[in-house]
């Protein structure tokens, strides 16, 4: 019979949230026994740089790895098991059973199980069919595309990961992006800004965007893809397929714990990262955290949120074991803020999109403007901005931008103001630097705010 391993704190899942939780727990409770298990072989690495590694822009894998399992265990004094998949929990006896038959008895549990790639039934992975979610996924893509590069690859989906993969591979390979309605980044960009990005991506001729929904995949007898079928009857011949149809919280194994989930399956937590069950915390991409604008739980799978939630969960899970006392940790409500660089363009948004604001019950409206990155005499380029605001109270609700490199940083200003509950007037009154070769006198954010002020002045419901 396999002996039971006993630990004060069991952390399930590595990467950003799990390792941050382990480090915070060790700092708070130097004498606690901590076990971190992860079903993969890679523990701590930069997931955001995976498309660049898969496409060859990052040459060495070592540049992505923050800690090997052995180095992390030695640095923080924790037990680390990789290749260790938890398949069941015993909530009554606080136990966990692993796929290899081992059992763990825990006093406190942190779930940092992250999110998984959503794969349509017709696009099951096989030779030449890939997802890009883990370092191992990136290795497979890199090996395949470098050893025997296909002439044409189809990317199913047009989210951040799909577009980054397409851009990374599109330097040397023809790429077709299949997206319903041809809409790019539907979770982050409005239709007008999506069209701006589409025009830039397809300008070189090596990338095309098919406004269709992928419905099937023709394969050779050995499983290799031959063509992607679409709902308009087209067959797009290809030598490889990357499935980028989104991600889902990876919470199935946790259902036996009786945790409360949101409508997409993310674990509901408090600002202390506590779940609805005693002795169980959750962090990272598996958790729905309080959101700053609406005050409601929201699933915001971002690297910074993974680190923050991991640190909070780690400290609080061992707080009663901490000899120095102090205060429990609290997570400040989050603002969703995303950015990506594609084909020489920065794409970014912060806060709520117009559709999200309306769904949340705001009397929301949006304005679209085109400003300049800096003096046009000195080569300033277009900066597209959409500003979303509440037409009744004048509250700032969100923004998005597309422009030359550096434009995305404007969303840092928006994110900070959103956290403070700022208004359109606050944004228009904000101070910004000016130099003809650096930034314009009339920053595009303030131009957008003034445009919104004019609309508010005419609105019968404004304030």
- Residue 164: CB partners within 8 Å, gap ≥ 6? 51, 52, 340, 342
Q: What is the pLDDT of residue 324?
A: 66
Query: 100: helix, coil or strand?
Result: coil
pTM of the model: 0.93
Whether 4-43+63-114+248-321 shares its CATH topology with 348-458 is answered no
User: Where is pLDDT greater, at 56 or 193?
Assistant: 193
Question: Average pLDDT, stretch 88-112?
Answer: 94
- The band of 226, judged by pLDDT with boundaries at 50, 70 and 90, is very high
Q: What is the pLDDT of residue 283?
A: 98
- The band of 2, judged by pLDDT with boundaries at 50, 70 and 90, is low
* Cβ(189)–Cβ(403) below 8 Å: no
Domain layout of the chain by residue ranges? 4-43+63-114+248-321, 119-245, 348-458
> Mind listing the pLDDT tens digit for each residue in 149-194?
899 999 999 988 888 888 887 677 899 999 999 899 988 899 999 9
Among 3.40.47.10, 2.60.40.10, 3.50.50.60, 3.90.1150.10, what is the CATH number of 119-245? 3.50.50.60
Question: Average pLDDT, stretch 78-86?
Answer: 97
* CATH number for the domain running over 348-458: 3.30.390.30
150: number of Cβ within 10 Å: 18
Superfamily of domain 4-43+63-114+248-321: FAD/NAD(P)-binding domain (3.50.50.60)
Q: What is the pLDDT of residue 162?
A: 82
> Mind listing the pLDDT tens digit for each residue in 346-363?
999 999 999 999 999 999
CA 331 to chain centre: 18
Question: Average pLDDT, stretch 125-141?
Answer: 91
Q: What is the pLDDT of residue 239?
A: 93
40: number of Cβ within 10 Å: 17
Q: What is the pLDDT of residue 416?
A: 97
pLDDT at 463 over 70: no
Backbone angles phi, psi at 428, to 5 degrees: -65, -30
Identify which of 110, 88, 106 has the alpha carbon closest to the alpha carbon of residue 7. Answer: 106
Query: Mind giving me the DSSP string for 372-420?
Result: ESS-GGGT--EEEEEEEEETTT-BEEEEEEEESTTGGGHHHHHHHHHHT
- Residue 82: CB partners within 8 Å, gap ≥ 6? 14, 37, 38, 40, 41, 42, 43, 69
């Amino acid at each position: 019979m396999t002996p039971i391993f006993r630990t004060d704190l069991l952390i399930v899942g590595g990467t950003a949230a799990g390792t941050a939780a382990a480090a915070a727990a060790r700092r708070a409770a130097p004498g606690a026994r901590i076990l971190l298990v992860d079903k993969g072989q890679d523990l701590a690495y930069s997931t955001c740089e995976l498309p660049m590694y898969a496409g060859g822009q990052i040459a060495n894998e070592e540049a992505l790895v923050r800690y090997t399992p052995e180095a992390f265990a030695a640095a923080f004094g924790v037990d680390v098991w990789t290749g260790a998949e938890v398949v069941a929990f015993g909530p009554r006896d606080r136990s966990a059973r692993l796929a290899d038959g081992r059992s763990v008895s825990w006093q406190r549990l942190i779930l940092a199980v992250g999110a998984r790639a959503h794969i349509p039934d017709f696009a099951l992975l096989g030779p030449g069919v890939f997802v890009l979610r883990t370092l191992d996924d990136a290795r497979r893509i890199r090996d395949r595309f470098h050893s025997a590069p296909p002439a044409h690859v189809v990317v199913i989906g047009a989210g951040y990961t799909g577009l980054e993969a397409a851009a990374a591979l599109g330097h040397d390979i023809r790429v077709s992006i299949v997206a319903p309605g041809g809409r790019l980044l539907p979770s982050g960009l409005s239709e007008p800004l999506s069209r701006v990005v589409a025009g830039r991506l397809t300008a070189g001729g090596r990338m095309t965007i098919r406004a269709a929904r992928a419905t099937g995949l023709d394969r050779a007898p050995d499983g290799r893809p031959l063509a992607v079928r679409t709902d308009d009857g087209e067959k797009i011949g290809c030598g490889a397929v990357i499935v980028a149809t989104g991600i889902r919280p990876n919470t199935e194994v946790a259902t036996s714990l009786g945790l409360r989930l949101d409508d997409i399956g993310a674990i509901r937590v408090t600002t202390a990262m506590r779940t609805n069950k005693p002795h169980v915390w959750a962090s990272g991409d598996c958790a729905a955290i309080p959101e700053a604008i609406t005050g409601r739980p929201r699933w915001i799978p971002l690297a910074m949120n993974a680190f923050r939630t991991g640190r909070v969960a780690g400290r609080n899970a061992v707080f009663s074991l901490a000899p120095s006392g102090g205060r429990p940790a609290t997570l400040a409500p989050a603002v969703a803020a995303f950015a990506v660089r594609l084909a020489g363009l920065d794409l970014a948004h912060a806060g709520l999109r117009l559709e999200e604001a309306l769904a949340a019950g705001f009397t929301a409206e949006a304005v679209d403007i085109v400003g300049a990155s800096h003096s046009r005499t000195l080569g300033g380029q277009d900066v597209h901005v959409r500003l979303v605001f509440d037409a009744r109270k004048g509250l700032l609700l969100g923004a998005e931008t597309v422009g030359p490199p550096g434009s995305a940083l404007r969303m840092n200003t928006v994110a900070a103001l959103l956290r403070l509950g700022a208004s359109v007037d606050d944004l228009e009154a904000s101070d910004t630097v000016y130099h003809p070769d650096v930034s314009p006198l009339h920053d595009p954010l303030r131009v957008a705010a003034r445009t919104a002020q004019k609309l508010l002045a005419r609105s019968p419901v404004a304030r």
